[in-house]
Amino acid sequence: MLTLYDAPRCPYCARVRIVLAEKGVPYEAVVIDLDDRPAWLYEKNPVGKVPVLDDDGWVLPESAVIDEYLEERYPEPPLLPDDAGARAAARLLVFRHDDFSRPYYALRRGEPGAGAALAGELAGLDGLLAAMPYLTGGSFGLADVAYVPWVLRARTLMGISLDPFPRVAAWLEELTERPSIAAEADIVAALA
Ligand SMILES: N[C@@H](CCC(=O)N[C@@H](CS)C(=O)NCC(=O)O)C(=O)O
């Protein structure tokens, strides 16, 4: 049985919740209070962050690595393309996600210029979605999973309009039809 050390408000945890839901893998969620983290969490992850996955006593932190692990351990349905180049392109987007999250968190802290920087990143995603239907390529997958928690939160919690980014808006609308993402949209709505 898998255990996920989880926090509803955490977008990194959302990445893992989405993959577990997409693959239909049962798990137990242990909700961590991020404002009062238990000391034992540091035994599972020395930096004290969630998500952490526990697979029968073997623990793994870092959302992007956990999602890759789940993809290998539970290959169906696949969340990476068959083609090696397309897989690498999807992984590159996940690898560069900090370029997106940096202005997102800067905006939350109210830093000057962050709104324009985040708009630039959303415009970048919009450009990618002009060339392919999903950030992962021809089908939904791990690159979409990597970004959608922040786009949902930017829209619903930070009031960022997606009107200037119509492909991102359409992508989010389509993704929200998936039960895994609809569940996340509900979690985010409850945080608002
Ligand atoms: N790189 C980590 C980031 C995880 C992360 O920052 N989690 C936040 C919650 S959203 C956390 O646990 N924060 C506690 C802290 O920063 O001490 C991942 O991808 O899993």
User: What is the SS3 assignment for 178?
Assistant: coil
User: Is 13 known to be catalytic?
Assistant: no
Are the CB atoms for 177 and 7 separated by under 8 Å?
A: no
Question: Global pTM?
Answer: 0.98
**130 CA from centroid of ligand 1 (Å):** 31
The tokens of 88 are what?
Answer: 């690498």
Annotated catalytic residue within 4, 7, 10, 118: 10
Q: What is the CA radius of gyration of the chain?
A: 16
pLDDT tens digits in sequence order for the chain, 192 residues long: 899 999 999 999 999 999 999 999 999 999 999 999 999 999 999 999 999 999 999 999 999 999 999 999 999 999 999 999 999 999 999 999 999 999 999 999 999 999 999 999 999 999 999 999 999 999 999 999 999 999 999 999 999 999 999 999 999 999 999 999 999 999 999 998
- 76-51-151 Cα angle (round to 5): 80
Whether 50 lines ligand 1, by a CB cut-off of 6 Å, is yes
Q: Which atom of ligand 1 is nearest to the CA of 48?
A: 17
Ligand 1 atom at minimum distance from 10 CA: 10
Order of all β-strands in the sheet with 2-6: 27-31, 2-6, 52-55, 58-61
Q: What angle do CA 149, 155, 161 make, to 5 degrees?
A: 140
pLDDT of amino acid 53: 98
